[in-house]
Structures are given as C-alpha cells and as structure tokens.
Amino acid sequence: MSQLQGKLAIVTGASRGIGRAIAHSLAQLGAHVILCARDTAKLHQLADELKSQGLSAENATCDVTRPQDWEALAAGIKQRHHGKLDILINNAGDGVFGKPLHETSLEDWTRTIDTNLKGVYLGIKTMAPLMIANGGGDIVNIASLAAKNPVKNGAAYAASKWGLNGLSVSAAEELREYNIRVSTVCPGSTATNLILDMRRANSKDADTSRMLQPSDIAHAVVTLVTQAPQSFISELLIRPTRKP
C-alpha cells in the first residue's frame, strides 16, 4: 500500500473519468497527488474525498493548453515541494466525433490538437527540467487505441493521438539518459463521458457493460510507475476482453 510513499505526482484531467481513477490509485499507494483540470469545484470535491480517506492530495486548476498555467504549477511545486516532482500523468484529453474531417470546424480541430498534443508538450517542457534536476521520474501519456487505427468521423482525435505516440517515443529517447521513463498507455473503449459522447455522435449503442472501466487504466498506470528502476515498459495497449 505504500509503494509510492513520499512521491509527488501530477495527474491532468483528474476532475472525472480515467484521470480521477488514476489520481485515486496513486494516492492509495501513498503518493501526494496534485489534481489538475479546469473544473475547480470537481477538483476540490475529489481532494476532499481523498483526504477524508486519509490520502494526500491538493488541487491545482490548470488548463493544459495554457503555458502560464503550467508555469504556475511548476512554481508551486518549487515553493511547496522543493521541486521534487516524481510522476507526471498527461491524461487530459478532448475529442470531437461524428463528422468527417472535411466538415470538422477549425475550432474543434484546434481544441483537440491543443489539448491532446500541445498540452502534453507543455507538460513535458515545464516538468521534465524538475525531474532532470531530481535525477529521474516517470511521465505517462494517455494515448489511445485510436493512435493505432483509423477513426472514421474522428480524424482530429486520431491525428492528435498518433502524434502523441510520436512525441512520446521521441521524448523517451531524449529523457532516458536522465533516468526518466516516458511511456504511453493506449486504452480501448473505456466507460467515461468521452466514449459515450463519441458513440452517441456516431449513433452507436452506448452500452458500457463490456467496456473497460477507468480503474483498469489506472491499474496499467500503477504498473508503469512501480516498475523496478532498471525496467522500462514503454507502451501498454489495453482492450476490453469482449468487444463492446
């Protein structure tokens, strides 16, 4: 229960869905978790819930597309935690579904790419220097099986996640010499708002009973951040056992 005791972790997109489950799992293993997202009220609620269970967390409102929000987060970590960041989970994500690329608005395209790709770039740009100074760390990027396959009526989302894969494997090569593992988790359909919106947009049944649960993705993240120091699992692909 205390494998991550004394570790400091950031989880983006912690206000709901997969990020919420990841935050919970890391806190249960003893980490102090900084909960990031835009919805301050939900972050407060989660921080209070974790603390009421004797776990350690704080909330930090952060829009991952805004460099100034990342800089404020880094300043807080330097001030209150002596810059000792161990784990960064880049989970925040957005997507627009239901329209072919040629009917996708520039606004939807930009929001998707900015959240899923620029947000991770900014996270690594801001936080990797802290990890380098500390002698190592773990960065886990939540991609998707959409990063491996075509996504009809979801090209912007697919492009962001294929791009995230390229970003991740390249940053991994850059950072491994600093004892930092950059890995990706590629979930299949997981029962959250995002997949339900996607299914509805494509007029597909939104039955969640066969889907992965957010806790399944959290389990994969825990596997990555609790590896022995010499081991580097660089990618995990997760499918529901039976097709939803």
- Taking each helix axis as running N to C, give the angle between helix 106-113 and helix 155-175, from 0 to 180 degrees, rounded to the nearest 10: 30
What is the spatial distance between Cα 139 and Cα 124, in angstroms, rounded to a whole number? 8
DSSP letter at 103 equals: G
Q: Interface residues for ligand NAP in 24-43 (CB under 6 A)? A: 37-39, 42
Does position 142 interact with ligand NAP (CB under 6 A)? The reply is yes
Binding characters for ligand NAP, 183-202, by CB under 6 A (x = yes)? ----x-xx-xxxx-------
Active-site residue, selected from the candidate residues 97, 121, 157, 162: 157
63 near ligand NAP, judged by CB under 6 A: yes
Q: Angle 185-95-58 (CA atoms, 0-180°, nearest 5)?
A: 65
Q: Cβ-count burial of 109 within 10 angstroms (0-12 exposed, 13-18 middle, 19+ buried)?
A: middle
Cα–Cα dist 65/238, whole Å: 27
Q: Which of 28, 91, 112, 168 binds ligand NAP (CB under 6 A)?
A: 91
Identity of the residue, 110 or 227, whose beta carbon is nearer to ligand NAP in the bound complex: 110
Establish whether 121 is a catalytic residue: no
CB of 5 to ligand NAP, least distance (A): 26
Q: How far apart are CA 76 and CA 170, in angstroms?
A: 28
Q: Is 19 in the site for ligand NAP (CB under 6 A)?
A: yes
**Candidate ranges 8-16, 26-34, 78-86, 222-230; the one touching ligand NAP (CB under 6 A):** 8-16
Question: Can you tell me whether residue 126 is helix, strand or coil?
Answer: helix
Q: How many residues form the binding site for ligand NAP (CB under 6 A)?
A: 29
Residue 88 sits in the site that holds ligand NAP (CB under 6 A):
no
In angstroms, the CA 171 to CA 180 distance is 10
The residues carrying an active-site annotation are 157
Residues near ligand NAP (CB under 6 A): 12-13, 15-19, 37-39, 42, 62-65, 91-94, 115, 142, 144, 187, 189-190, 192-195
